[in-house]
Amino acid sequence: MSATLPDIPIARLVGVTEHQGAQRQCSLVFHLETEGGARLELTHANIMQALRFAQESGAMPALPEDWWARDGGTNGC
């Protein structure tokens, strides 16, 4: 790992669940698992909120506002 990055475990995608009838940004749940077996679930909204945070913090280049508009917002579930 880089000297500037914390030692954060890498998680791989092990599945995706779609919940019919849920709010659009909450209908997709991504299931992740680390090499150590720790499991984590993220909704589409969680991922979009993380992207917005990274953008606002300057950790990534800004995405165009029309890109954000296509998503319909970043409201949590």
For residue 29, being part of any structural domain is answered with yes
74 DSSP assignment: -
For residue 3, being part of any structural domain is answered with no
Tokens of residue 1, six digits: 């790992």
For 45, the domain range is 11-59
Global model pTM greater than 0.85: no
CB distance 16 to 29 below 8 Å: yes
For residue 15, being part of any structural domain is answered with yes
Per-residue pLDDT tens for 36-73? 999 999 988 888 888 889 999 999 999 888 888 877 65
Q: How many domains does the chain have?
A: 1
For CA atoms 11, 23, 66, 50, the dihedral sign is negative
Per-residue pLDDT tens for 5-22? 677 788 999 999 988 776
